[in-house]
Structure 1
Amino acid sequence: MSLINISNLTFAYDGSYDNIIQQASFQLDTDWKLGFIGRNGKGKTTFLKLLLGQYDYSGKISANVEFDYFPYEVADEQLITMEVIDEVCGPYQQWELVRELSLLQVDDEVLWRSFGTLSHGERTKVLLAALFLKSGHFLLIDEPTNHLDREARELVCNYLNKKKGFILVSHDRFLLDNCVDHILSFNKSDIQVCKGNFSSWWENKDRRDNFELARHEKLQKDIKQLGASARRMADWSDQVEKTKVDTKNSGLKVDKGYVGHKAAKMMKHATAVANRREAAIEEKSRLLKNIDSSDSLKIHPLTFHTSKLLELENVSIFYEGRTACQQVRFSLQQGERISLKGKNGSGKSSLFKLICGEPLCFKGNFRRESQLKVSYVPQDSSFLRGSLTDYARESQIDESLFKTILRKLDFSRVQFEKDMADYSGGQKKKVLMAKSLCEQAHLYIWDEPLNYVDVISRMQIEELLLSYAPTLLFVEHDSVFCEKIATRQIEL
């Protein structure tokens, strides 16, 4: 066991006016299984790169351990997988590699295939196995389960649960609840380290937020009452002064001692009220700074004139010279929220493209209502370029509504001025989601909408779907999200 000490850490990218990390100080134990959470753009990946020494910073990072980052970048994907493993972890015993691969249920035959031919799941498992062969290293694991199907996610979760000595960046609540024992949270205005999993952290956060909101409401009432009291004091003071003037003009003798004593007493009381009001305002200003904005989202689904929107009977799709899926059979009724399940490569995205009207080669019977309006969120977001304003205009959506939704999804206004190509993966996904929420449609088709999207935003989207109940066909590997949202599941 050793400690990683962070002291007064501050970092900002060149040309940026805002610090991503500001005067951060905390301590981590290298024996921990540490879940790392925070809103998109809060600096999680940046912090990992600071630990790796990739950026200059002010403050101090001290550790008696070497760091390794996942996912490891493979420069030449034509290399045999065994050669890639040799590059990643250096000297190791062959039996150790076999042991790690067996824990992840990876067949030894992948070792002799070129790395580029492996699926996303196989690549993730092989590189995790290679990284955990390094003894004495602290692993920085950055969102390992994106694009993995649920079965692969559970395997990775079980594997990590048996390990220790890592930081895991993830937005998957199932993963964070089942394979970590501490949480590092980059919050709105501070950084928090606590013992437990995501659910215990969220429960404590919810309790703390509710306390702050109740305290904030009480202080608002106190400030209002103290303000009224101060105004009454001012009125009384004016009346005392007025008695001086009135008695002087009327020729009456004034008891100056009494009036002076009364004025001094009122002044003392007024000063005390003012001090209490300022103290209440100052305390109120310290509250709510760490409560993440999670304003309710809205969607405006259209109602179709028939209940059945589409139907597939024994549909097989042939895509890029291969069979993408075979003998698919289901129908979609208005108001349903169907989760399409299946391993990576089982043809889910191809089905979505067919339903959205792409000219794919298929056999079987496929019927879709001709006047059906569909809003589609694709799996890939790498094509996003240019400004949000131009994107809203090209997509024929209301720019003001579009940006309002992004603000509710925790976009800062400074992000509106940036090129979308510079956004993080989570921010790009939010752009696609916000566009879809702006569109009035009979059917919403979302292909892995939550990849890279932070936990709080996932909860906002869950609340939206449960409140407005649009007709939805989606693929998502977040098991918690699927259990809450899907009215029916179909497995390919």
Structure 2
Amino acid sequence: MSTIKVTNLTFAYDGSYDNIFENVNFQIDTDWKLGFTGRNGRGKTTFLKLLLGEYEYSGTISAKVGFEYFPFQVEHKENLTLDIIEEMVPDYQLWELMRELSLLQVSEDVLYRPFESLSNGEQTKVLLAALFLKENSFLLIDEPTNHLDLHARRIVSHYLKSKSGFILVSHDRSFLDHCVDHVLSINKTGIEIQQGNFSDWWENKQRQDHFELAENEKLKKDIKRLSDAAQRTSNWSHEVEKTKNGTRNSGSKVDKGYIGHKAAKMMKRSKSIEQRQQSAIEDRSKLLHNIETSEALKISQLAFHKHQLVELDHVSIDYGEKEVCRDISFTIEQGDRIALSGKNGSGKSSIIKLICGQNIPYTGTFRKGSQLKISYVSQDTSQLQGNLTDYAKEHGIDESLFKSILRKLDFSRIQFEKDISAYSGGQKKKVLIARSLCENVHLHIWDEPLNFIDIMSRMQIEELLLEYSPTILFVEHDREFCQNIATKVIEL
């Protein structure tokens, strides 16, 4: 057991407007299973890159372990998987590798296939198994759940629970809960560490936020009361001071010494109240820095002229060399929130593309309402580029509404000035969702909309769908999101 110490860490990208980290201090035990959370664009992946020594920074990071990053970049994916592993871990023992693959429920035959022929889930499992074979290493695991189906996520979470010595970046709440024992969170003002799983951290955060909001309200009232009291006392002092040059009602001269003493005493009291007021203001200034704002989102969906929007009756999709799904039957009716579920490769994306009007070869009966308008959010964000203004014009949506939604999803105004291609994976996905929320349609279809999106934003989107009950068909592997949102589940 050893520690990783971070001292006075400060970092900003070249040409950036502000620091991503500023004088950050904390330490990590290398035996921890550490969950890493924070809103998109706060610097989670950047911090992992700093640990790897890929960027220059001020401050110090000291560690007696080496760092390994997942996903490992495989250069020659045409090579056999076994050759890839030998390149990653030259001194591995075959029996140890077989043990790791068995824990991840991966068959031995994948080792003798080209790496590029493996599914996304198989590639994820193989790379994790190989990296955990490295001795004296601390793993930096960056969003391993993206594109893993529910079954694969369950396997990987059980696997990570049996391990230690890693930082895990994930936005899947149930996944984090199952396999971490500490949480590292990037807040607005820095980084903090708490013991426990994600639910423990979230409960503590809510408790702290509620306390600070109540304390802030109390101090606000105190400041107002003290301000009024100080003003009254100051006014009284000035009025008393004026009487020094006057006479009593009886015509006798006033006692200037007594009145001066009384005025000074009242002024002293006024100063004391002002000091208490200033102290309350200072106390208040220490609050609310890490409160995460999550304003409510809105969606305005068009009503369709029929109750039933889409029907699939014994639909099979066959690309010739491969049949991806068979005898799929379901309907989409107004108000349905349908989760399309199944293992990767079971035909979920093909069904979505068929409904969206793409030329997909199928048999069976497929009916779609005439003039049905659909808003589609794709898994893929790689083509996003240009500025937000041009993007809004290109898609015929209201720019101010579009940017307002992005602001509610934690975009800073600085982000509006950047090219979309420079955004983080989560920020790009938010662009697609914000665009979809702006479109006037009858049906929303979202294919893995939450990949890379932070937990706070997931909760905002959940609240939106529960409040407005739009008609939506979605594919999503976040178990908690599906349980909270879906009114129907179609299992492929």
Alignment gaps of 5+ in structure 2: none
Distance 1:415 1:113 in 2: 43
Distance 2:101 2:201 in 1: 32
User: Is contact 2:234–2:267 with CA below 8 Å preserved after alignment?
Assistant: no
Aligned residue pair count: 492
Distance 1:340 1:247 in 2: 91
Task: Tell me the residue number matched to 1:38.
Answer: 38
Task: Tell me the residue number matched to 1:340.
Answer: 340
SS in structure 2 at match of 1:95: helix
Distance 1:236 1:370 in 2: 78
Task: Tell me the residue number matched to 2:422.
Answer: 422
Q: Structure 1 stretch 229-238 or stretch 44-53: which is displaced more? A: 229-238
Residues 457 and 320 (structure 1), Cα distance of their counterparts in 2 relative to 1, 3 Å cut? farther
User: Is contact 2:237–2:264 with CA below 8 Å preserved after alignment?
Assistant: no
Distance 1:284 1:319 in 2: 64
Code of the residue aligned with 1:22 in structure 2: it is E
Task: Tell me the residue number matched to 1:444.
Answer: 444
Shift of 1:319: 4.6
1:114 has 2:111 as partner:
no
Task: Tell me the residue number matched to 1:149.
Answer: 149
Q: Structure 1 stretch 283-292 or stretch 250-259: which is displaced more? A: 250-259
Distance 1:40 1:200 in 2: 21
SS in structure 1 at match of 2:270: helix
Distance 2:17 2:387 in 1: 20
Distance 2:167 2:484 in 1: 28
Distance 1:316 1:482 in 2: 25
SS in structure 1 at match of 2:452: coil
Distance 1:210 1:320 in 2: 58
Q: Structure 1 stretch 233-242 or stretch 93-102: which is displaced more? A: 233-242
Distance 1:247 1:350 in 2: 97
Distance 2:92 2:121 in 1: 23
Q: How does 1:40-439 map to 2 (within 5 A)?
A: 40-244=40-244, 247=247, 253-319=253-319, 322-439=322-439
Distance 1:71 1:108 in 2: 21
Distance 1:320 1:169 in 2: 39
Distance 1:77 1:53 in 2: 26
Code of the residue aligned with 1:47 in structure 2: it is F
SS in structure 1 at match of 2:220: helix
User: Is contact 2:238–2:263 with CA below 8 Å preserved after alignment?
Assistant: no
Q: Structure 1 stretch 239-248 or stretch 336-345: which is displaced more? A: 239-248
The runs of 4+ residues in structure 1 deviating greater than 6 Å are none
SS in structure 1 at match of 2:139: strand
Code of the residue aligned with 1:442 in structure 2: it is H
In percent, how many aligned pairs have the same letter?
A: 64
Code of the residue aligned with 1:168 in structure 2: it is L
SS in structure 2 at match of 1:390: helix
- Structure 1 residues 118-174: Cα deviation after superposition (integer angstroms, max 9, x where no partner): 110000000011111112211111111101111111010011111111111111111
Code of the residue aligned with 1:103 in structure 2: it is L
Code of the residue aligned with 2:359 in structure 1: it is P
Shift of 1:408: 1.1
SS in structure 2 at match of 1:310: strand
Task: Tell me the residue number matched to 1:476.
Answer: 476
Residues 270 and 320 (structure 1), Cα distance of their counterparts in 2 relative to 1, 3 Å cut? farther
Shift of 1:194: 1.2
Distance 1:201 1:290 in 2: 14
Shift of 1:364: 1.5
User: Is contact 2:312–2:367 with CA below 8 Å preserved after alignment?
Assistant: yes
Shift of 1:368: 1.1
User: Is contact 2:244–2:260 with CA below 8 Å preserved after alignment?
Assistant: no
Distance 2:245 2:377 in 1: 76
SS in structure 1 at match of 2:145: coil
User: Is contact 2:241–2:260 with CA below 8 Å preserved after alignment?
Assistant: no
Code of the residue aligned with 2:487 in structure 1: it is T
Distance 1:215 1:342 in 2: 48
- Structure 1 residues 267-302: Cα deviation after superposition (integer angstroms, max 9, x where no partner): 111101111111111111110001111111111122
SS in structure 2 at match of 1:183: strand
TM-score by length of 2: 0.97
- Structure 1 residues 17-61: Cα deviation after superposition (integer angstroms, max 9, x where no partner): 311111111110111111111111111111111111111111111
User: Is contact 2:35–2:181 with CA below 8 Å preserved after alignment?
Assistant: yes
SS in structure 2 at match of 1:22: strand
SS in structure 2 at match of 1:312: strand
Shift of 1:386: 0.3
Shift of 1:322: 4.0
SS in structure 2 at match of 1:126: helix
Code of the residue aligned with 1:451 in structure 2: it is N
